[in-house]
Amino acid sequence: MALVASGNIVVADTAADPTAVKSENGKYLDKEGNPTFKVAPDGTVDWYTYSGYRRYHSECHVCHGPDGMGSTYAPALKDSLKTMSYADFLGVVASGRQNVSTSQENVMPSFGNNRNVVCYLDDLYVYLRARANGAVGRGRPAKHEEKTPAAQKQEDDCMADSK
């Protein structure tokens, strides 16, 4: 795997295989242990993909466009996640990033202190990964798995830290 330096971020030229190989309390993981999506033959998505859709449209779509399609203001994240690793995604969202050239200036603000983002980083990643791989189309997923007790506990614990 070749790496390309981009500012302070190192971006892999290909993302890991998104195939789910195991599940831990309803969260699906790829062979490298990264969170990933699971879509049943009938179109039912896992809870984290559904939650990621909801969080994306709550916090990210204003700049990055609906369904990760991009805008004149910010890039299409459905394309970015085709090559961006999980670690790089976490770093950019938490710390932000600035790309400046002679023709443009793109600034991704830091969301490291925004609990509505930080508490759902895996959900956002999983949703955008599913979009990048064509596993989920545009719009709200019609069917989803139920939220697991582990997902509820993680959310409660993360949100409680902000009080």
Residue-number span of the structural domain to which 84 is assigned: 18-160
60 secondary structure, DSSP code: I
> Residue 94: which pLDDT band, with cuts at 50, 70 and 90?
confident
CATH of the domain at 134: 1.10.760
Domain assignment of residue 23, yes or no: yes
Q: How far is 77 from 124, CA to CA, in rounded Å?
A: 10
Residue 2 counted as domain residue? no
H helices present in 20-148, as ranges: 47-55, 61-64, 77-80, 86-95, 115-118, 121-132
**pLDDT attached to residue 6:** 40
**pTM attached to this predicted model:** 0.83
Sheet holding 22-24, edge to edge: 22-24, 27-29, 35-36
Does a structural domain hold residue 58?
A: yes
Instruction: Convert the pLDDT of each residue in 108-151 to its tens digit.
Output: 777 888 898 889 999 999 999 999 888 898 989 999 999 999 99
pLDDT at 9 (0 to 100): 41
Is 97 a domain residue? yes
Res 13: pLDDT: 45
| Predicted local confidence at residue 104, as pLDDT | 64
Average pLDDT, the chain: 82
Please check whether residue 69 lies inside any domain of the structure: yes
Quote the number of domains for the chain: 1
Residue 133, in any domain of the structure: yes
Percent of all residues in the chain with a pLDDT value above 90, rounded to a whole number: 39
